Structure 1
Amino acid sequence: MQDDVLLVHGGSPLEGEVRVKGAKNLVPKAMVAALLGEAPSRLRNVPEISDVRIVKGLLQLHGVAVRDGDEPGELLMDPTQVEQANVADIDAHAGSSRIPILLCGPLLHRLGRAFIPDLGGCMIGDRPIDFHLSVLREFGAVITKRPEGLYIEAPNGLEGAKVRLPFPSVGATEQVLLAAVRAEGTTELSNAAVEPEIIDLICVLQKMGAIISVTTDRVIRITGVAKLGGYDHRALPDRLEAASWACAALATHGDIYVRGARQLDMMTFLNVFRQVGGAFSIDDEGIRFWHPGGPLNAIALETDVHPGFQTDWQQPLVVALTQATGLSIVHETVYERRLGFTSALNQMGATIQLYSECLGGTPCRFGQRNFQHSAVISGPAKLHATDLDIPDLRAGFSYLIAALAAEGTSRVTGIDLIERGYEDFQAKLEALGARVELPMRVAESVA
């Protein structure tokens, strides 16, 4: 498909301004939360990305009236007529997203039953839904596996539970929150994820009438309530997209002002960005990122759950590290296959070696399991254009950065995956002076 291909002419710095809207890792979940209420909700700062379109469709299939508000990026959701959706329709909408598993809690509260088809999402490592199913069972849900998917029922309603996660999973934490807020009794969640997007979801639920407290030891306590109302909420900005543009500025010797970026959510990233040799300045409206000239510094880096260095920041930064002088070490501790994208960077002229050993001291989920999850990056490398096939969302944007930093024209396929989390990214690239185009335009100009 030609509309899934982008030609990237590299070798020029990215300069100018882009705007980031609400976080991909919050907005779809806040939309799901609207199902819990018995009154309409208003969500602002919503990006136009495919994950939002998928959840909008799923909500509409379940009887939620969803429409755009008066201001740009505003969604109005009325869940007062929630109903069971057709299994085939759910399957058609859900194939490319893992969001449907989060509808279970709200649907069990509203309808007493839910259906979940096979789940999609980025193939960056083992992302089992076992956490989710285990959580739902602890709340009293009954799960039946059938060829078309999972049927989930709560014949006696959901009851609060004491849950300890083996890993502070964002998805499992969201599942507990969405199931617990209307469950009977109190829920205590230990070893919870506490990412900014999780805290923002808690703010959404509290606006609806939920009773939730968060302690400093990763424990979240939820007192169930019988009913919830609607909410009016402005989503926090997407810190992951903001960091991607920062890395693009660094790798291309550019200068990008990211309007909407917020320091508080990005402090760990900003420290690393500065250690590598990048420069930034912060004002009330956003953050300016630029390459100050001179060589970049090699670093040792380990990903970790918040407040550590986020795994989604790793891939774009690795591209920038190919331009640093010396040996950089990256230890990926969250997703075991997230470094697989580096083989394409090596084809472009980078020198990156992968190891199954843990090259760092941060506790790792999959050490000794023979996954190549540590990388040694030797730089600086002169990158050259090649054909690139995008494997997942963050690797996809990272490939764009590499192609923009390289000499020559790269052909990038699978760009629809980037649309899952980057709003209007092609127009933003063009606004920064990038030379990108669809093959169709090339063919038409030749004709």
Structure 2
Amino acid sequence: MAQMVINGGKRLSGSVTIGGAKNSTVAIIPAAILSDTPVVLDSVPQIKDVYNLMDMLADMNVRSSFHDHVLKIDPTDIKLVPLPHGKVTSLRASYYFMGSLLGRFGKAVVGFPGGDDIGPRPIDQHIKGFKALGAQVKEHDNSIVIEAPHGLHGNRVFLDMVSVGATINIILAAVRAQGTTIIENAAKEPEIIDLATFLNNMGAKIRGVGTQTIRIVGVPHLVSTNSHMIIPDRIEAGTYLSLAAAVGDGILVKNIIAEHLDAFLAKIQEMGVNLDVREDSIFVYPNSQLSGVKVKTSPYPGFATDLQQPLTPLMLLADSRSIIVDAIYPKRTRHIPELIKMGAAIKVLDGQIVVDPTKQLAGTEVTAEEIRGGASLLIAALMAQGTTVINQAENIMRGYDCIIDKLHALQADVSYSGKESF
């Protein structure tokens, strides 16, 4: 179990550069096996999830190498093998191999997905999409077996609820299917647009991404000829913007696509955070007086569920009560008891997170049970007086590129004891 040790109560300054989007990367790596030629990805974040996915590629005889944020994947000798349950349960995004293996081989055997425990995240909409394309789905030995004995054929799929994961998985399965697939009530996240750009540059025919209706005309082959640059991570950006507003004496956050953060930026400006939004960066001025706000998460372009936790510590500095309603994952509250240990005036009441003004946090020992909750604790630890020890800090490393180096560049007093392979 890794630990992160933070000596807090210090003002930070300097600049930080946002890495490539985790949520794009973990979809595009499985998508790479749909190519008949080697693939090169640039601006790949150096996070634990990338290495976990590379391990899964190796199980399929897919060679990969990762250096200086450039990931090379060679799927030319890929073999269809079941993906072990143990590895799959360590990373929920591994379920994208369902769609990509089905698209490439017409069959996939994948262990039930794992990842962060933030409440129910069913895959029924994924299965609905696979069945609509002609696949048969069954469970066997704690795995999902998906097979299209007569091939995949385009069809119309209406998602009962907006689902990023289902939208991506259906795209991956449909891109090499026969005929046309139409996904209705599709998710609109920028990471889905990034995935479609990657696939289209290899010869796919995907239109309508970013809208609620996506049309995919299947093609027999995909060929990569140029490297693909992963878009900046809007969740990492929002996390550092929250950090900068909470403990910064002037911090420049670089490599940002501000339009991807419209809902988040509007909310922190409503709180009173003073920003200078530039072409591809945002400067956060020191803040002295903040007001409480109400946040309700919703699918993009609404306020991202992944940003409610990193925003929570900043709310403690407001002069009035703040309310968070997570309409996506209502059970995403496991960071709350840990913040209370630090002295936060925060509680869960009637399905809402209620955040009251808190004069001072105190360093203590807490646990990061998932990625974004860990980020929340990290920001709180930087705000707190004294030393905070964050247990299970490896969860933070799953989602934040080179985070220790970036915090050191801001003059944060942070150390990490994990024994990662990178």
TM-score range, shorter chain: over 0.9
| DSSP 3-state at the match of 1:47 | coil
Per the alignment, residue 337 of structure 1 pairs with 331
**CA displacement at 1:92 relative to structure 2:** 4.2
Per the alignment, residue 232 of structure 1 pairs with 227
Per the alignment, residue 106 of structure 1 pairs with 100
| Structural mapping, 1:388-399, within 5 Å | 388-399=366-377
Instruction: Quote the RMSD (CA, aligned, Å).
Output: 1.8
TM-score under structure 1 normalisation? 0.89
Per the alignment, residue 198 of structure 2 pairs with 204
Q: Alignment partner for residue 87 of structure 2, among 85, 93, 96?
A: 93
1:339 corresponds to which letter in structure 2? T
| DSSP 3-state at the match of 1:340 | coil
Cα deviation, 1:59-114, whole Å, max 9, x if unaligned, reads 22212221247xx21122222211123x4x63343231012221122212322321
- Checking the alignment, whether the CA contact within 8 Å between 1:124 and 1:337 is kept in structure 2 is yes
Per the alignment, residue 271 of structure 1 pairs with 266
**CA displacement at 1:269 relative to structure 2:** 1.5
| DSSP 3-state at the match of 1:323 | coil
Matched length? 417
Cα deviation, 1:24-50, whole Å, max 9, x if unaligned, reads 000121111111111222111011111
Cα deviation, 1:290-310, whole Å, max 9, x if unaligned, reads 333x21111122111111111
Cα deviation, 1:404-439, whole Å, max 9, x if unaligned, reads 101111111011001111022122222211112357
Identity %: 35
- Checking the alignment, whether the CA contact within 8 Å between 2:61 and 2:77 is kept in structure 1 is yes
| Greater alpha carbon shift after TM alignment, 210-219 vs 412-421 | 210-219
Cα deviation, 1:228-286, whole Å, max 9, x if unaligned, reads 21253101000100110111112224432222122121222211121111122233452
Matches of 2:45 and 2:339, distance apart in 1: 29
Is 1:175 the equivalent of 2:173? no
C-alpha spacing 1:438/1:180, structure 2 compared with 1 (3 Å): closer
Matches of 1:13 and 1:393, distance apart in 2: 24
**CA displacement at 1:198 relative to structure 2:** 0.8
Matches of 1:20 and 1:238, distance apart in 2: 7
| Structural mapping, 1:47-446, within 5 Å | 47-68=45-66, 72-85=68-81, 87=82, 90-214=84-208, 218-230=212-224, 232-292=227-287, 294-356=288-350, 372=351, 374-438=352-416
Matches of 1:81 and 1:207, distance apart in 2: 22
Per the alignment, residue 445 of structure 1 pairs with none
Matches of 1:260 and 1:288, distance apart in 2: 12
| DSSP 3-state at the match of 2:333 | helix
Matches of 1:291 and 1:394, distance apart in 2: 24
- Checking the alignment, whether the CA contact within 8 Å between 2:341 and 2:366 is kept in structure 1 is no
C-alpha spacing 1:217/1:242, structure 2 compared with 1 (3 Å): closer
Q: 4+ runs of 1 displaced by more than 6 Å?
A: none
2:245 corresponds to which letter in structure 1? L
Per the alignment, residue 365 of structure 1 pairs with none
Matches of 1:352 and 1:92, distance apart in 2: 36
Matches of 2:372 and 2:262, distance apart in 1: 20
- Checking the alignment, whether the CA contact within 8 Å between 2:180 and 2:217 is kept in structure 1 is yes
C-alpha spacing 1:246/1:216, structure 2 compared with 1 (3 Å): closer
| DSSP 3-state at the match of 2:183 | strand
1:188 corresponds to which letter in structure 2? I
| DSSP 3-state at the match of 1:55 | helix
| DSSP 3-state at the match of 2:64 | strand
**CA displacement at 1:216 relative to structure 2:** 7.1
Please list every run of 5 or more consecutive structure 2 residues that lacks an aligned counterpart in the other structure: none
Per the alignment, residue 21 of structure 2 pairs with 23
- Checking the alignment, whether the CA contact within 8 Å between 2:188 and 2:209 is kept in structure 1 is no
C-alpha spacing 1:353/1:99, structure 2 compared with 1 (3 Å): closer
Cα deviation, 1:388-416, whole Å, max 9, x if unaligned, reads 11111000011010011011111110110
- Checking the alignment, whether the CA contact within 8 Å between 2:192 and 2:209 is kept in structure 1 is no
TM-score under structure 2 normalisation? 0.94
Per the alignment, residue 34 of structure 2 pairs with 36
